[in-house]
Amino acid sequence: MGSVEYCSAHTKQGDVRGRWRRTADGDSAAFLGIPFAQAPIGSLRFAAPAPMPRWDGVRDALEYGPTPVRIETPGGMIPEPAVPGDATLNVNVFTPRPGDTAAGLPVLVWIHGGGYFGGSPASPWYDGRAYNRDGVVVVTLSYRLGFDGFGWIDGAPANRGVLDWIAGLEWVQDNIREFGGDPARVTIAGQSAGGGAVLTLLGIERAQHLFSAAHSISGAFGDMPKHTAIEFARALGKRLGVEPTAQALRDISEEQLFAVQQELSTPPGMDYLKSMVEDGPLVAPVVDGELIRRPTFESYAMGVGTDKPLLLGATDEEFLIMVAGQDEQLAQVPLPALLESVGLSGGVRDEYLAAHPAYVERGNAAALGRYLTDGIFRSTALRAAHARAGSPTWLYRFAFVSTSYGLSGHCLDLPFWFDCLDAPDVDAHTGPNPPQALATAMHGAAVRFASERTPGWDAWTVERGTTQVFGDTDPAHTSQGEFDDVVSLLKLPFRR
């Protein structure tokens, strides 16, 4: 075993020491667990992120820092390590040019997913080595999760998790040049809740100077109405036997808060599926009228963020896995009634079913699972594109089907975007021998977007609907109207 080769970089808070990784694909340095704000504990637990004071000497950045997620989920969709500790607001920087302030490389800032209550920036799937190989600096950042990060609390600022994203991006602006990056070429990117974070940030006036492009992968949107957030907070306080104030809730452990929030946000049966489509996550970014001044797509329509290129899309069957194995049970209910139970009825339902004959033929579970995918993810991507009509926007569709579970499911595209098919647990999700040609095509598009502000195909327009398809037989090809099958859902009120 070879000796560790260290490298160093300077930040405004002090010097940090990272580690070189020498590989056949090229050299990459990792600086892990650098705090961008003070530990959110004690009086800072529900406060806006507090600036990190300077430190003396050189701070080791050799291991991942503490994560806001406290419990690992065995067998989850992504390996998501939980690292214990209090200093949970930290960044990880992967760079091929540490200390080279003249390198001017493009930067990708990654915001992890997890439904706004889970996920980890320490996942091996988010290692930036392939991006580094191709000349892009990668930063992964953490943020407060669940009610601690997003719950409405009297006496505390709203959207603390969003403020964490902003603080992390401010750290990048202040320091990334020291890691070889160009602060004027920052792309924000994320998947699922992280993709929703990208869409949210794109509509926040206060955040516009912090990035210049956005890549939203399977964006699961927030935009919770303020009154809904307040009602949820009152219900949570009542269940805990306290007022939902900062002073009272500081005495409640994260574990207690998490248990109650999960109970309240997961109603039984079809009510849960209906709430996922109609309301989105019940602990998520809130339209508070201050930081998030108005619903995000209204901000787009007003021109906020429309000067920035946006790349977005989804997998074909994001949440079909949620109803997998329930074919016999769901077949007992007529399909129109089944869809009505999750909020899809009348003429919109009929139009939607007419656009999905293959899923109707596969049975009720497949049709319901496809509706969950379309209602939560694919229609969100199309709504965003429409709200930004005339702005630089590129759509993609991920159609590769896992040979392990026979779906083009949620998170399946991540190791292709990161070109990390050799990472732990990837083949358990993709099946053995996942196609490297597909990873090369997708990762290449992401690198080009971060570097050149175009992924390499024609931009989407309302008239043409140009979409890049990343699929099985042909790794990448352009098609027209690939999202036309969810146009009917745009007629539904957007309640999130």
User: Which entry of 80, 178, 317, 318 is annotated as an active-site residue?
Assistant: 318
Backbone angles phi, psi at 33, to 5 degrees: 70, 35
Give the residue ranges of DSSP H helices in 176-288. 193-202, 226-240, 246-249, 254-264, 270-278
Contact at 8 Å (CB) between 200 and 168?
no
Residues 485 and 277: their CA atoms lie apart, in Å, by 17
**Region class of 241: left (phi > 0), else alpha (psi between -120 and 50), else beta:** left
Phi, psi of 367 (to 5 degrees): -65, -40
Catalytic choice (28, 192, 212, 488): 192
Token representation of residue 242: 């306290």
Q: Whole-angstrom distance between the N-terminal and C-terminal Cα of the chain?
A: 53
Distances 428 to 38, 57, 298, 404 between C-alpha atoms, Å: 37, 43, 41, 7
Nearest to 153 by CA among 262, 76, 249: 249
296 closest CA partner among 371, 395, 394, 214: 214
**Does the active-site annotation cover 299?**
no
Contact 204, 291 (CB under 8 A): yes
* Token pair belonging to 404: 């392990």
**Distance from chain centroid for Cα 257:** 23
The number of angstroms, rounded, from the C-alpha of 225 to the middle of its chain's C-alpha atoms is 20
- 151's CB contacts (< 8 A; 6+ apart) are 229, 232, 233, 236, 244, 257, 261, 283
Stretch (H or E) spanning 479: strand 477-480
Angle among Cα 484, 475, 381 to the nearest 5 degrees reads 30
Instruction: Give per-residue burial for 316-329: e unless 16+ CB within 10 Å, then b.
Output: bbbbbbbbbeeeee
CA dist 125 and 258 (Å) reads 26
Active site residue 404: no
Strand partners, 214: 188, 310
Confirm whether 72 is a catalytic residue: no
Tokens found for residue 402: 């896992």
Angle at 379 between CA 481 and CA 144, to 5 degrees: 135
What is the CB neighbour count within 10 angstroms for residue 57?
Answer: 8
CA distances from 93 to 109, 135, 309 (A): 9, 14, 23
Q: Which of 112, 215, 356, 410 is catalytic?
A: 410
Q: Give dist(CA 405, CA 266) in Å, integer.
A: 25
The backbone torsions φ and ψ at residue 20, rounded to the nearest 5 degrees and listed phi first, read -75, 145
Catalytic residues: 192, 318, 410
